[in-house]
Amino acid sequence: MKILNRKILLGLLLITLSGLFYLIHYVIFKDAHHIFIYMIGDIAFVFVEVLMVTLIIHEMMNEREKRNRMEKLNMVIGAFFSECGTRLLTYFSNFDPKLDKIRDNLVVTDNWSKDDFRKVNRSLKNYGHEVDIHKIDLENLHNFLSGEKHFFLRLLENPSLLEHESFTELLRAVFHLAEELALAYRKDLLNLPAVNYSHLAGDIKRAYSQLIYQWLDYMQYLKNNYPYLFSLAMRTNPFDQNGTGLDNHLSEEE
């Protein structure tokens, strides 16, 4: 309220000073015609100035700032996949019993267009993203995610994530899975009740599906902006059986 009052007072002061100087001009030169010619001309230009500054220059600056923010955000996303995201996606996909139905559709190449990425995203909406939890080494998964916990927390603290809701949801899903595994680990991961397995299966499914969607978006970004990074991403594609790929394990101890 105080700030608003200050602005009103400042506005009144400026208008008063403007009127005062117009009065001084009239007293000295006795030429109201000259005063009104320039005053009306200046007022007319205000609308053009508003158009240029507010609607054109301001929008251009906002667009530039938005691109810079998205650039920084995609660097964060790239760090996530380099650090653990691609390895985690590889691990989950190895225990996807129906992966062969979509595997070929996820082998991204240089020839892919925006429409190709869009089609694959649409087709994934009807896919189950199931993972056979009974084949997963839950203790190893727990150890892997526990080791990355501080990394996840640093990512979640990044204010740039507010610009990217889907990636934030992915981090929350993975972090939640880590917390659920930590809770189950304290009980006994090898002898969990069926209801606990079912709950963990749902958490893994959520993380797995969001990993795939976010990975596809990131692949499209690399293809459009960084061909050399895209080349590496193609060679480490978790779904390409003919590529270099990553090993099937989360850690070297396995």
Contacts of 9 (CB under 8 A, 6+ apart): none
DSSP state of 36: H
In the numeric block, the tokens 């795939």 are attached to 212
- Structure token pair of residue 233: 């991403």
Which of 12-16, 30-34, 142-146 is predicted most confidently? 142-146
Domain boundary among 11, 34, 59: 59
- The answer on pLDDT for 212 being more than 90 is yes
* Average pLDDT value for residue range 207-220: 94
Q: The domain containing residue 105 runs over which residues? A: 73-235
C-alpha dihedral, 161 to 165 to 170 to 175, nearest 10°: 60
Over the chain, what is the mean pLDDT?
Answer: 84
Q: pLDDT tens digits, residue range 20-33?
A: 887 887 788 777 77
Q: Are residues 136 and 53 in the same domain?
A: no
Per-residue pLDDT band for 244 (boundaries 50, 70, 90) equals low
Asked whether residue 52 is domain-assigned, the answer is yes
- Cut 0.75: pTM above it: no
Q: Are residues 51 and 80 in the same domain?
A: no
Domain boundary among 15, 37, 59: 59
Asked whether residue 67 is domain-assigned, the answer is no
Task: Determine the pLDDT at residue 98.
Answer: 92
Q: Are residues 212 and 92 in the same domain?
A: yes
Q: Are residues 134 and 84 in the same domain?
A: yes
* Average pLDDT value for residue range 173-191: 84
Helical segments of the chain, H only = 2-29, 32-50, 58-80, 86-93, 114-124, 138-147, 149-156, 165-187, 194-225, 227-235
Asked whether residue 81 is domain-assigned, the answer is yes
Q: Are residues 136 and 29 in the same domain?
A: no
Asked whether residue 68 is domain-assigned, the answer is no
Q: Are residues 128 and 159 in the same domain?
A: yes
Per-residue pLDDT band for 134 (boundaries 50, 70, 90) equals confident
Asked whether residue 247 is domain-assigned, the answer is no
Mean pLDDT is lowest, of 21-30, 49-58, 118-127, 200-209, for 49-58
Mean pLDDT is lowest, of 29-38, 93-102, 222-231, for 29-38
Q: Are residues 104 and 126 in the same domain?
A: yes
Q: Are residues 93 and 38 in the same domain?
A: no
Q: Which residues of 97-132 are buried (b: 16+ CB within 10 A; e: fewer)?
A: eebeebeeebebeeebeeeebeebeeebeeeebbbe
Contact 109, 238 (CB under 8 A): no
Q: Are residues 54 and 102 in the same domain?
A: no
Q: Are residues 35 and 131 in the same domain?
A: no
Query: Nearest 5°: phi and psi at 96?
Result: -90, 105
Q: Are residues 26 and 97 in the same domain?
A: no
Q: Which residues of 156-194 are buried (b: 16+ CB within 10 A; e: fewer)?
A: eeeebbeebeebeebbebbbebbebbeebbeeebeebee
Q: Are residues 22 and 136 in the same domain?
A: no
Asked whether residue 253 is domain-assigned, the answer is no
Nearest-angstrom CA–CA distance, 23 and 6:
26
Asked whether residue 122 is domain-assigned, the answer is yes
* Overall number of domains in the chain: 2
Asked whether residue 26 is domain-assigned, the answer is yes
